[in-house]
Structure 1
Amino acid sequence: MRAVQVLEFGGPEVLHVADVDEPVVGDRQILIHVDRAGVNYADTHQAENTYLSPSTVPMIPGGEVVGRTDDGRRVVALVDGGGYAERGAAFEAQSFDVPDGVDDVSALALVVQGATAWLLLHRTARLQPGESVVIHAAAGGVGSLAVQLARSLGAGNVIATASTPDKRDLALSLGADVAIDPASDDLVGALRTANGGRRVDVVLDMTGGAVTDQSVAALAPFGRLAFYGMASRQAPTPIAPASLLAHSTSVGGMWLPHAFTVAGLMPRVMTELFGLVRDGSLSVIAGGEYPLSEARRAHEDLRSRVTTGKLVLDPSR
């Protein structure tokens, strides 16, 4: 079968299409004939071997697929690598039947970005009605869904950050109350101004570096920052527990694979998200479809931050 293969770690230049053996389906797994494969920022880290879980080469990147099983089920699944291919093997426990009314791009967006946004708001940050929430990278895959979910949860003030005017306009169209540029020299001040002069209650952050540092500094007493990535590839300043005590703030992390260790959690999340898409309460932004042969371009576009919404690969091309 055709697949994107990585033989040495590096940037987008290490992604090459190759003919490889079909995956071997193990116990409690299913074979999926892939219609579309999702592209995530985590995939760029896997290609570099800078992800939370170490990679080995040769490797086929990609952690999510949507397609058909041999018995005709339409499923979306998380896979342990191997997503950028014509066929993939997935564990039944990490596969979800896609209901009618949910298209391929939406299904792929929900199984990673949607679930991430849901868990950040419900479990890590525990957003309460009336609270203010800052959503960094609000035009991206997670951010664009988090803006809508925060609004539906009754957030008092949804503050989006995005790097361009077009992206900020998109965040506003999705329900953000205000959108600002995160590159401000005084991000703490900009966030407080966006919140009516008050410190903020919740921040969802996947940027790292100075953005994380200033976001922590902008938290109100009992404020929470939910950290779920480091797109800048710059580590934030280490946080001393005493500083959290001094300001009564909390910093939490979230990595999606841990959700599968909690019995019944991911089925609940996916059922709720599928329902929101079907009834029109939640919209997935289609960020672009690339042929499998242009996976390198997809990674280049993602890393350069010119994309919005959900990116997918078409293995038939």
Structure 2
Amino acid sequence: MKIVRYHEKGPPEVMKVEDAPTPEPGAGEVLFKIEACGISYGQTLQRGGRHYPVPITLPHAPGGSVAGVIEKVGEGVDKGLVGKRMFGRVAAGGYAEYGVGPAQGLIEIPDGVSSADVVACLSDGVTASLILNKVGQLAPGQSVFVPAAAGGLGFVAVQLAKLYGAGRVIGAASSEAKRQVVLALGADAVVDYTQEGWSAQVKEANGGEGVDLALEMTGGPVFYETLDAVKPGGRVVNYGNASDTDSPINPRVLLRKNLTLSGFMGGPYQVFAPQYRAEVLAFLKDGRLKAQHQTYSLEDAPKAHAAIENRTSTGRQILTPHG
């Protein structure tokens, strides 16, 4: 089979397609014929040797979240899974034609929903749902700000905020082309967060006041600008630190506006994941949630990583090993 590996950290071009034996599923495992594998920002950080909390050993075969047809099952696994299209995870090496992962936690893909659409939306959709509903406590009619709204989680969060009853959704994107994509997804307004003082654009788009709920995943100066974009009594949910920058909090900033600041990394909220997973799949099946993705061959994995790093990508970047 074909698999993407790199033997040293560096630019996207260190990734090469190599030949490897097709793996065999062990006890409790399944073999996927991989139709779609998601590419994450974290994988570009690992490959580039930049800050990422999960270490890797070299050579490394990236890729975790996959969707495809179950080709074989290992000992103790229901043989009825063979031939079914499922979403799950592989231990490593999702950038490949085949991959082995645990049978536990597999999710069957509904008829009429593509593997690429599921990879693009399901994991990020569950995360966005938990952030909006359980951490952010979104109430019907409230306003929401979504950063990087054309990105992998952002494009899902924009749509789900609307589906969950937000009165006004304001996104942020770095180019005019991306801002048009966000508007087409249903955002009420989109701001250019490359401009200094962009929080003023958020307030203007929200009738002159800050939003009720803001998502934040960058840290550093963007974090402080986000606090400014929230109304008194509003909430901010941080779910990342893409800038790898410490952001000390001045308590006066919070108390003067009665702001609530929360962090999200799953944890205890995962008990609600099955509920939102079912909702996201239903939204995909009936067309209320639209996937946004760009697909690449295994050979073009470096192009996909470069698109993420150059901020020219929209939606989720996905490898389709079998075309």
TM-score, normalised with respect to structure 1: 0.90
Contact kept? 1:124, 1:226, Cα under 8 Å:
yes
Q: CA deviation at 1:236?
A: 5.2
Structure 1 residue 79, shift from structure 2 partner: 3.1
3-state SS of paired residue (1:47): helix
The equivalences for 1:29-178 within 5 A come to 29-49=29-49, 50-70=51-71, 71-178=82-189
Cα distance 1:79–1:206, how it changes in 2: closer, same or farther (>3 A)?
Answer: farther
In structure 2, the CA distance between the partners of 1:203 and 1:24, relative to structure 1 (3 Å rule), is farther
What's the CA shift for 1:243? Answer: 4.1
2:260 pairs, out of 246, 250, 254, with: 250
Cα separation, 1, equivalents of 2:265 and 2:91: 14
User: Whole-Å Cα distance in 1 between the matches of residues 22 and 251 of structure 2?
Assistant: 49
Offset of residue 240 of structure 1: 4.2
Q: Does residue 1:270 correspond to 2:270, yes or no?
A: no
Cα distance, 1:62 vs structure 2? 1.1
Equivalence for 1:204: 215
Q: Residue type matched to 2:283 in 1?
A: L
Secondary structure class of the residue paired with 1:275? helix
* 1:295 aligned partner, one-letter code: A
The Cα offsets for residues 81-132 of structure 1, whole Å up to 9 and x where unpaired, read as: 3211111122233321101011111110123222222222122212111211
3-state SS of paired residue (1:130): coil
For 1:316, the equivalent position in structure 2 comes to: 322
Q: How far apart are 1:21 and its partner, in Å? A: 4.2
Bigger mean CA deviation after superposition, 59-68 or 2-11:
2-11
The amino acid across from 2:160 in the alignment is: L
Q: Deviations over 1:112-157 (max 9, x none)?
A: 2222222221222121112111111111221111111111111121
Q: Give the direction of change, closer, same or farther, for the CA distance of 1:301–1:118 in structure 2 (3 Å limit).
A: same
Structure 1 residues 170 and 254 mapped into 2: Cα distance closer, same or farther (>3 Å)? same
Greater shift in the superposed pair: 51-60 or 291-300: 51-60
Give the residue type in structure 2 aligned to 1:53.
Answer: V
CA RMSD of aligned residues (A): 2.1
- 178, 192, 196: which is aligned to 1:185? 196
Higher Rg of the two aligned structures: 2
Q: CA deviation at 1:288?
A: 1.8
Residues 212 and 35 of structure 1: is their aligned pair in 2 closer, same or farther, counting only changes over 3 Å?
same
Return the offset for 1:78: 2.8
User: Aligned equivalents of 1:42 and 1:94: distance in 2?
Assistant: 22
CA distance in 2 between partners of 1:80 and 1:195 (Å)? 44
Q: Given the two structures, how large is their TM-score scaled by the length of structure 2?
A: 0.89
Counting matched residue pairs gives: 312
Cα deviation, 1:278-297, whole Å, max 9, x if unaligned, reads 11111112x32111011011
Partner of 1:18: helix, strand, or coil? strand
In the TM superposition, what is the alpha-carbon distance from 1:214 to its structure 2 partner? 0.5
Q: Is the 8 A contact 2:120 2:318 kept in 1?
A: no
**Change in 2 beyond 3 A, CA 1:253/1:48:** farther
Q: Does 1:300 align with 2:306?
A: yes
Question: 1:164, CA displacement in angstroms?
Answer: 1.2
2 CA distance for matches of 1:7 and 1:198? 51
Aligned identity (percent) is 37
Find the aligned partners of 1:252 and 1:13 in 2 and give their Cα distance: 38
Structure 1 counterpart of 2:270, one-letter code: V
Rounded Cα–Cα distance in structure 2 between residues aligned with 1:289 and 1:113: 17
In 2, distance between residues paired with 1:86 and 1:144? Answer: 27
Q: Using the alignment, how far apart are the partners of 1:248 and 1:28 within structure 2?
A: 50
Match of 1:15 in 2: 15
Return 196-205 or 295-304, whichever deviates more.
196-205
How has the CA–CA distance of structure 1 residues 248 and 93 changed in structure 2, closer, same or farther, with 3 Å as cutoff?
farther
Q: Which amino acid aligns with 1:272?
A: E
1:93 to 1:225, Cα distance in 2 relative to 1, 3 A: farther
Local SS of the residue matching 1:221? strand
Cα offset, 1:315, TM superposition = 1.6
Superposed displacement of residue 38, structure 1: 1.4
- C-alpha contact 1:213 1:236 (8 A) present in aligned 2: no
Shift of 1:64: 1.1
Q: Greater CA deviation, 63-72 or 209-218?
A: 209-218
**Cα pair distance change 1:86/1:219, threshold 3 Å:** same
Per the TM alignment, residue 209 of structure 1 is displaced from its structure 2 partner at its CA by 2.9
